[in-house]
Structure formats: structure tokens, C-alpha cells
Amino acid sequence: MKKLLIILALVLPMWASAQNQEDVSLAYSYYNSREYEKAVYLFENLFNQTHAKNYFNYYIKCLESLGELDKAEKAVKKQMSANKNDLSYKITLGSVYKSQGKLDKAAEQFDGVLTALPRDRNSIIALCNSFLQADEPDYAEKTLQQGAEVAHTDFSMELFSVYASSRNYKKMSETSLDVVSADESRLATVENMLQYYLNNDTNDELYSVLRSSLMQSIQKSPSTALSEMLIWVYVQKKNFKMAVNQAKALDRRTNRQGRNLVSLGEQALDAGDYATAADAYKYVLELGEKSPYHYSARLGVLYTMYRQVVDGSITDTEQLEYLENEYRSVFAKQGLNSMTAQHIINFARLEAYYLNHSDTAKAIINQALQQPLSFNAKADLNLQLADIYLYTGDEWEALMIYAKVENDNKQNEKGDEAKLRKAKVAYYTGSFKWALSQLDVLKAATSKLVANDAMELAILINDNLAVTDDYIPADTTAENPDHELQIFARGDMYMFQCRMTDAFACFDTIVTQYKSSPLVDEALYRQAQIYERQKDYSEAASLYQKVADDYAYDNLADKAAFRLAEISSTYLADPETAKTYYLKILTDYPGSIYAVQAREKFRKIDGR
């Protein structure tokens, strides 16, 4: 019997706690679904059991929603009598009076809180939050303002939150500027608070007010901190041109020798704003070699031009040769080393892929490999060398170099990248079974990008390889000796080698001669990519739309819908089509990796 009592003493409290948690979840569930008749009973019981004020507040909210205002009033007054020093019940009673239409009585209760404010900072903040919960932002503001005088403390950040809750952008901006002007060391804190609201400022209302306030303040009294804040605000909205102009003005005033401009150039470049990136770097270069950022700016100019070459903005032979000579000049001065390794790789790509100087590309990499290099730089250079061999059709030499990088970098990302490229060579050449054996290992790679690429290629092969041996043609007639997967893989290799006409022909064979093949949507998608590379956006959009509409059940549909929306918005001046396909991603493919971007861009076009 004694043992039984001990067991009961241990088990009953646990059972009661579990039951209590179940009631809590159920109460909130009923409240959120507006089933107030059920919620009110549970919140009343929870409050009687725990005396937690939060449950009482929800109990009163339920009564107000049910129209039982007299009952709510009595319940609040009862708690006020039992807790005479707790001013928050005055706010609750005032809220009940407001629901009853007794506005004078409500104001009397609210004003009573202000006249009896405690000197404790935390208590003042709690009362401010109670006013916000009662939908009384003006009284929340007054609580903090008067509380600052009573408690002799600063409530600027709390005031910012009050203004944010009521979307009072003017006062949000004024408060932000006041905080930074009073203490420049709080700039980062203010920016962190503003960032969320600027990111969700779809109509640019806060941005416009904040920018205007900052410009007016800077014109009246130039401030380094406020100038930096204005630059930061421009960057949040990706207005890099204005950010760079403001940074130039600040640099001239403070003689920073271009410190901010290099960083802004990099950010503009990442956003594809080549003109602004070049402008930022040019400013630093014009300062001369005395600037400690001169070399970084020069490399920035090279990288900006290289990016324009890659995306097709620069195609003129004279400009390509100018960039080639600029690279040579940098290497002559800075040498071939780990610091310049990425630029050596870009130079090699320029030579091989755009100037058709593959031997020059191989030579510069081999020359660099003779120098003392970091382990990563050496691996990256070797991977690029192998890529160039593959580009020129020497698959065997490429495989040998990939294998060497893999062997030298076991159990790290460079080794995984080399293994992936080996698997791709096997795929290109029709050795599908061997490719799969490599890809299966890479699905657990530490690099998420490598693992995802490996899984994507493995799925493509598995879904379309109808045989278990490495390669057995599905159709051995003289007219169609190839398996469609081999034709498709050859098209992918031609795309890698920039032989776009040959690649398009391979994919066209799939579309026209293997109409029932599961590779048709993949082939159409590849053709759309080729058109996009060639800047034929109308044709690209047409094929992406076909994949998104006719193959909506397949795994490329969301990807095609996203590309179609992007092209329609960016290049075809067709916001309606863009909206339609961003929305399609949100409704038909809510789990898509493109869903977050699609939602943001849909809202921006829709003006929400």
C-alpha cells in the first residue's frame, strides 16, 4: 500500500501537467479558430488553476468577442481589487469600457495608468506592451515618453517598436536618426532593427520616408554616421548607383581613400549592376596608387569585365583582347600565386572559351602550378586545367587530372568536386553505370551544392536508363543506332564545350524522334537554356512555358515556371505573365526551392 501511494504521488502530478498542457493547446486552438464559446471555458479553468495573467487576458478577450461585456467588466474589477498595485488591469478594464462604447470611462482608466507610472524600467515596458495589446499605440507611446522622465532612462528602441507596430514610418525614421545622432556607436543596432521592416517594405513607403529624413538631416548638418546609414539604406533596396554616389561624397569629405567604394563595387557586381561596379572601382583607381585599395579596385575592374564577357555583354574582339592584356599586366606586377589564383582561372577561361587560345590557357595554368601555392589554389587550378582538356575534346587527359585532384583531396570538398566531374565525363561518354557508382557516393558529400548536383544527375540517369549494363542501344536500327539517353548526354557535353548548334540538334532529335521519351521535357528545357544564352528571350520563354504547362507533373515544371517568370519580368516587359507563373509556383509547388523568391517577386510586381 505504501509503494502504491508513492507511485501515485509521482504519477498524478505528471498526469495533471500533461492534462494541463493539452487544455492549453486546445484553448489556443479554439481561440485562433474563433470558437470562443469553447475557448472561454478552458481559459477560465486554466486561470483558476494557475492564476497566470496571460490566461486571464484571453478569458476577457473571449468574453468581449462573445458580447458578454458586463461579465468581463466584473471579472476585471475583481482582479483589480485583489491586485491593487497591478496597473495592467486598468488597461484591461479600459479596453472593456471601449468595447461597451464608454469611451470617457476607458480614457479615465488609461490616463490613470499614466499618472501612476512606476519608476521601474521593466514595469514601464510591460505597461507599454499591454497598451499595444489593447490596440492603443498612442497610450503606448505616452507610457514610454512619460516613463523616460519618471525612470530617467532611454526608451528610444522601445518607441521605435511602437511606431513600427502602427506603421508610423515618419516617427520610426525620426527615432532612428535621433538614436544615431546621439550615439554613433548604435548605428549597427539601428540598422539591424530597420532591416526587417525595409525587407518587407514592398511599396517602399518606409524607404521613401527614411531616405528623405536622412537626406534632410545630412544637408543641414553633415554627419558621418548618418551618411553611412543612408548608404546602407540604398544598399538594402539595391539602389547601388545612389549608394556609390553617396559613398563618393562621404569619401571626399572624410578622406577614406576609397575604403567603402571597393565593397560597394563588389555588392553591385554581385547584383549584376556592372556599370555601377565599374564606376565605384574607377573612383578608387583615380585616387592613384597611394590608396591602399588601389590593387583591389584594379582586380575589381578585371572581374567586372570578365563577368560581362561570361554573360554576353562583352563580345567585341578588341575589348576581349584589352581584357587579356590587362590580365597579363596584373600578373606581371603581382605574380602567379595563391592571391591571384582565381584571376588566373578567369584568364584561362577567357583564353580557352572566348579567344579560342586553349594552348595559352593550359600554359598559364601549368606555369602557375610550378609556383608555391596553397592546397586549395592548386586544386582549383588543376580542376580548371582538366575542364579545358574536356572542352577541347581530350576526355582521357581530363579524367587523369580529375583523378589526381580527387586522390590529393580525399575527404574534402575539392575531392568531391573532382569526383563529380569524373562522373560527368562518364555520363557524357555513355558509361552510365560507372557514372552512377560515383554519383551514389557523392550524395553524402559535405558540399550541399555537389551533393545536389550528384543527386540531380543520378535521378536523370536512373529515370531514363532502361538497361542495367553500361550502354545497350534501345533501338539498334541503322537509322536510330543510339539510345536516347546517350544522345541527350552528348548534347550536354556539347553544351559544356559551347558547341550550341550541335547541342541543340541532339536535343531536337529527342523532341522529334523520341516523342514518348521521359527526356522530352528535359530536352525542351535544355533548348530553352541555349536560347537564353544566345539572348533569344522570346524563344526561350516559349519553350520554358511549354515545359511548365505541358509537363506540369514533372520535376522541371517549377524550375521552368521560374525561368519564364524571370525572363518575362526582366527582358520581355511582360509583368502579367511573370505574375501568373510566380503565382503558379506558390499554388502548385509550395515546397519548391523557388517558392520564397517567387513570393517576393510576385508581391513586388503586384504592388503588395
Q: What is the DSSP string of 500-521?
A: HHHHHHHHHHHHHH-TTSTTHH
Q: Which of 464, 413, 402, 462 is nearest to 442 (CA)?
A: 413
Calculate ∠ Cα 87-92-97, nearest 5°. 125
CA dist list (Å): 516 to 458, 464, 519, 520: 21, 12, 8, 8
pLDDT class of 14 with cuts at 50, 70, 90: very low
pLDDT digits (tens, 9 = 90+) for 459-476: 999 988 864 344 444 443
In angstroms, the CA 561 to CA 336 distance is: 44
pLDDT class of 398 with cuts at 50, 70, 90: very high
In angstroms, the CA 212 to CA 192 distance is: 20
Q: Which of 422, 430, 351 is nearest to 390 (CA)?
A: 422
At position 357, the amino acid (one-letter code) is: H
| SS3 state of residue 550 | helix
Number of other residues whose CB lies within 10 A of the CB of residue 134: 20
Q: What average pLDDT does the segment 440-458 reach? A: 88
127: Cβ–Cβ under 8 A, 6 or more apart, which residues?
A: 87, 88, 91, 113, 117, 143, 147
Q: 516 or 21: which carries more pLDDT confidence?
A: 516
Host H or E run for residue 272: none
Query: Residue 17 pLDDT more than 50?
Result: no
In angstroms, the CA 521 to CA 229 distance is: 48
Least confident interval from 9-23, 207-221, 501-515: 9-23
Considering the chain, what percentage of its residues have pLDDT values greater than 90?
70
Tell me what pLDDT residue 547 has: 96
Tell me what pLDDT residue 608 has: 55
Query: Residue 147 pLDDT more than 60?
Result: yes
Please name the residue that has the C-alpha cell 481561440.
Answer: 31
pLDDT class of 312 with cuts at 50, 70, 90: confident
Number of other residues whose CB lies within 10 A of the CB of residue 216: 10
| SS3 state of residue 411 | coil
Considering the chain, what percentage of its residues have pLDDT values greater than 70?
94
pLDDT class of 603 with cuts at 50, 70, 90: confident
Query: Residue 7 pLDDT more than 60?
Result: no
Tell me what pLDDT residue 202 has: 74
- Note whether 344 and 368 are within 8 A (CB): yes
Query: Residue 11 pLDDT more than 70?
Result: no
Tell me what pLDDT residue 84 has: 86
Q: What average pLDDT does the segment 289-295 reach? A: 91
Query: Residue 332 pLDDT more than 60?
Result: yes
- Note whether 505 and 524 are within 8 A (CB): no
As a whole number, the mean pLDDT across the chain is: 89
Tell me what pLDDT residue 572 has: 93
pLDDT digits (tens, 9 = 90+) for 65-107: 999 989 988 998 998 888 888 899 999 899 999 999 999 999 9
Tell me what pLDDT residue 40 has: 86
Query: Residue 18 pLDDT more than 90?
Result: no
- What's the chain's length in residues? 608
Query: Residue 19 pLDDT more than 70?
Result: no
- Note whether 73 and 100 are within 8 A (CB): yes
| SS3 state of residue 445 | coil
Q: 443 or 493: which carries more pLDDT confidence?
A: 493
Tell me what pLDDT residue 607 has: 63
CA 457 to chain CA centroid, nearest Å: 25
Tell me what pLDDT residue 480 has: 42
Number of other residues whose CB lies within 10 A of the CB of residue 207: 20
Tell me what pLDDT residue 175 has: 93
pLDDT class of 4 with cuts at 50, 70, 90: very low
- Winning range, highest mean pLDDT, from 19-33, 83-97, 391-405: 391-405
Q: Which of 569, 566, 605 is nearest to 203 (CA)?
A: 605
Question: Is the sign of the CA dihedral 290, 368, 358, 492 positive or negative?
Answer: negative
In angstroms, the CA 560 to CA 342 distance is: 32
Query: Residue 15 pLDDT more than 60?
Result: no
